[in-house]
Amino acid sequence: MLEKKGDNGLVQINGRGVDNGSSGGISRRKFLQVLGAGGIATGLTACADDAKQTIFPYVKGEVEKIPGVAVWYSSTCTECAAGCGLLVRTREGRAVKVEGNPDHPVNKGGLCALGQSALQNLYDPDRVRQPLKRGKDAKGNINFTPVTWEEVYTEIATALADGQAGKAMITGELSGTLSDLVEDFCSGSGCEHVTFDALSQSNLAKAAEITFGTYGIPTYDISKAEVLVNFGADFLETFVAPVQYAKGWARARKGSKPLRVVHIEPRLSLTGASSDLWMCARPGSEIKIALAILKDLLEAGRGEHLSEDVLAELRRLTKNIDVGDVASECKVTSEKILLAAHYLKNAKNSLVMGGGASSAASNQLELLVVVNFLNLVLGNVGSTVILSNPRKPKSSLTKLTKLIESMQQGSIKMLLISGTNPHFNLPGDLGFEYALKKVPLVVSLSNQIDETARIAKYILPLHTGLESWGDSIPYEGVYSLIQPSMTPLYDTRHLGDILLQCAEMAGKSIAGAEKGQDFRAYLQASWKKLHAEHRAGGDFDRFWKGSLERGGYFEGASSELVKVKVDRSVFQRKFESASFHYKGEKGKTLALLTYPSIKTFDGRAANRPWLQELPDPITQVVWDSWAEIHPATAKKLGLAQGDVATLRNHYGEINVPVYLTEYVHKDVVAVPWGQGHSAYGRYATKVAGANVSSLLSAEIHNGSENILNTSSKVRVLRGRGRSALVNMQGSDSQLKRSLARTAFIGEDGKLSHDPARKKEHHYEEHHKQMYDQREHPLHHWGMAVDLSACTGCSACVVACYAENNIPVVGKEKCSQGREMSWLRIERYHDGSAEELQVSFLPMMCQQCGNAPCEPVCPVYATYHNEEGLNAMIYNRCVGTRYCSNNCSYKVRRFNWFEYDLPEPLNWQLNPDVVKRSAGVMEKCTFCVQRIIEVKDQAKDLGREIKDGEIKPACVQSCPTDALVFGDLKDPHSKVSKLAEDKRAYKVLDYYINTQPAVTYLERVRYKT
């Protein structure tokens, strides 16, 4: 329970007093049963103050509310626009863990690292806790002082009521009922509404409209494809709905004929690392490769189902395309281009994708149109490309640019900003900061004092997604509910309640809203219409409660095929290579590529220590920005690894350390997006990073609605000094140790296993030893890791942090090798960039049956228990670290210090897992607390434990189901069957006879 004692002898919870027993009232023990009275949603409101429901303590607690037993709430993730379903685990009123909802059609139980980190958004120690007003202190420094909600409401309402033009609102990408409310609020009060999401894929939706006549991002069914050719869409990391796409990718990779992936991009991404054929193309030239493939398909007779007019236009479009010239311009081999076309021609079901940051050059819209042409010719529309249930993003860079011009001219008198940070994300030469200062009344509805909020007159803090009511419609037919899992921590409000209140005070009407209505009631009214439209059956109360329990209503999806008619005007567009902006000093320039990553996305996650300490999947760098440069290019520029480089163009300059890699084009310098905050919180601002947005071009090309991440060129100069990048990867190469193994599929469809299998085989008996083989009378817990399904996304790593109270140590301690993560994703490069082979190896405690760590502990703090776990008794540990020295897998972690979390980050700690003290060794336990919980439940119900019922945090969170946990004593369990699979092996077991309980399955890929 989150509590503090007030002077009146009452326990204060968010400002409300309840007798704690000191005055003869209810006891504190009884008070701990206070939450949840009346079912799933009672007492959890996201309303305005005057609509809050009172929470009373139980006189007698409800049977289903047992202290010490978790209560779960279905909800929806609000960290990005994907709309994944959530299950939120609460203990005594605190949200302590978020997991994917297995019944949700978008993510089906998986959850990415960003979604896992939502708890650190809720418990952010730098979160705004009450309304603030910007001012200056006696020395002239900017400061923020508390104000009342009523004061700000009154000023907003006065501005709304004046009846004059000059009011606007900028929001992030919204969905569902809240989106409708914002639109109705703006239309009813005369506000111009502009949506801006830095990661929006509006160009995908616009390209679909240009090609097919239907605006919206198509649904790509990767699971049905045999061949996927991808022009830069990083769908395994940040593109549109990465968990949904990862699920489909993993399903397609299973079976006798796995999905073959061809990926074309200028810099290796997480998706590119999992491809079978990788082309490192010059940025902006990808469209020529797409046209060359299109020409080859047409010459092979594909597209016969299309009209003669369309075929004639396509042939005219590709008439002058020569694959040799294309290969020379794009700096890839013609053999690879023809190979990609060959794969598509011979596939029964195929898919072509495009978009994302790496292809966001001036011609991205045209590239996406050609991608649509390829899908049309291949007959993919209606099978792997589904237009009936599209996502419909509203983000518009064109509208935002026009609004900024109006702001600069002084035409805008009031501006509301919510859910976006344009000051940080927009190209600097758009002049957003200057424009914002020209607006008399700027109100930032934000949880953090970010770069945009810092300039606003007022900051109004909002509920987070875990404290709010709402809904989300990721695509038509999926209506996902958001419900609060706990009461708001601070004096915050829901955006919907703020708008309803201000409109009412200003005398402005909002369609569908009643006087005095709060957002929860407005939401329910919207769902009553949904209930009636879909004839869901039963009364509304039953429908509402069932939707809350499931996480939404998912039976409204349309399976109707959309008729496609290609407008011939589309062929009048110019399908050419991209142009780049550069005005400045003469000299060699490189194309600048800025890309979002799972660590910070577009900067929204920069103040979350879990993600800052999470190694970047490709570079393995933590707590920093960097510039990826090809070694050959760096040599010409006089740069070495760790040198500080100055990236400069006429828009600005930044200084970042150099990271040398062969997996970036020689004409490119790539910098991750999202670091370099000047405000936003202690973890974001202490990173020695750079905001690369200041170097981007602000020009809009051919109707593009996205920020063009690859639109500028920069000069790269030697800066001052060096900056040691902290890289958590011990070695980029496996050094011929066959740790992360690969089995190749031959032309005959047979697997060619790793050469190491010739001298070892997992069926053979273990080496002779001095002692009897250990017995496990009831259970022997084990895990299987399918490397063919692992993408290296690191969702499991963040889930482990959240579940097991693992401390974050910071950049300095990481550089000293004192990181505390129990689970790491090892990334290995084998071969050159031309013959790409990247392997990811999740490495946790192997729970060895013959563990080297156990016999060297002088106090028996680590031992082998009867269920096969290498267990720890923290109270016995005296910190000799002998076990760590003797661990062959280097997975033990030593607490060098006491790691105290600033409030309220400590409120997220899992009460089922003890917090370790300084001088104590720790490691992965297979989430023993979860094992015990399921065992106790099965015992109480008088039944056996079901296979797959126990899911450690890493297993539960994995978007691709690459991890499987179960009982090795049960020969019918899935983990036992996988342990006997032909691809199965155990890391280092053949050499040192550790007898790990973790089995790895070779990655399966095609030999190109």
Averaged pLDDT, groups of 10, the chain, 1008 residues long: 33 32 43 40 39 50 71 93 93 92 93 95 94 88 92 94 89 93 92 92 90 89 94 92 94 88 94 93 91 93 87 89 90 92 93 90 88 93 88 89 93 94 90 92 94 94 95 90 93 95 90 86 92 81 92 76 72 73 69 91 92 94 93 93 90 92 93 92 87 84 76 87 87 85 82 72 56 85 96 95 94 92 92 80 95 94 94 94 94 92 92 93 95 93 93 95 95 95 91 93 88
Nearest-angstrom CA–CA distance, 928 and 118: 24
DSSP annotation of 267 reads B
Query: Which class would CATH give 589-726?
Result: mainly beta
3-state secondary structure of 208: helix
Closest CA to 418 of 123, 156, 675, 681: 156
Segments making up each domain of the chain, as ranges: 132-199+395-468+490-516, 207-391, 589-726
Residue that has been written with the tokens 């701990």 in this structure: 32
Give the number of other Cβ atoms within 10 Å of residue 572's Cβ.
8
Per-residue pLDDT at 159: 92
Domains 132-199+395-468+490-516 and 207-391 share a fold: no
pTM of the model: 0.89
Q: Who's near 413: CB < 8 A, 6+ residues apart?
A: 159, 164, 166, 167, 439, 440, 441
3-state secondary structure of 257: coil
Nearest-angstrom CA–CA distance, 332 and 566: 31
Nearest-angstrom CA–CA distance, 789 and 792: 9
Do the beta carbons of residue 13 and residue 5 sit within 8 Å?
no
3-state secondary structure of 852: coil
Distances (CA, A) of 84 to 46, 97, 210, 729: 21, 15, 29, 31
H helical segments located in 538-662: 540-550, 609-612, 631-637
Per-residue pLDDT at 5: 33
Per-residue pLDDT at 7: 35
Q: Which CATH number fits domain 132-199+395-468+490-516: 1.10.3720.10, 2.60.120.10, 3.40.50.740, 3.60.40.10?
A: 3.40.50.740
Residue that has been written with the tokens 């009450």 in this structure: 130
Give the number of other Cβ atoms within 10 Å of residue 533's Cβ.
9
Per-residue pLDDT at 761: 55
User: What backbone phi and psi angles, to 5 degrees, belong to 280?
Assistant: -95, 90
CA count, 13 A, side-chain hemisphere, 458 = 24
Closest CA to 359 of 437, 457, 285: 285
Closest CA to 422 of 172, 193, 593: 172
Q: Which CATH number fits domain 207-391: 3.40.228.10, 1.10.357.140, 1.10.10.60, 1.10.10.10?
A: 3.40.228.10
Question: What are the tokens at 435?
Answer: 């424009």
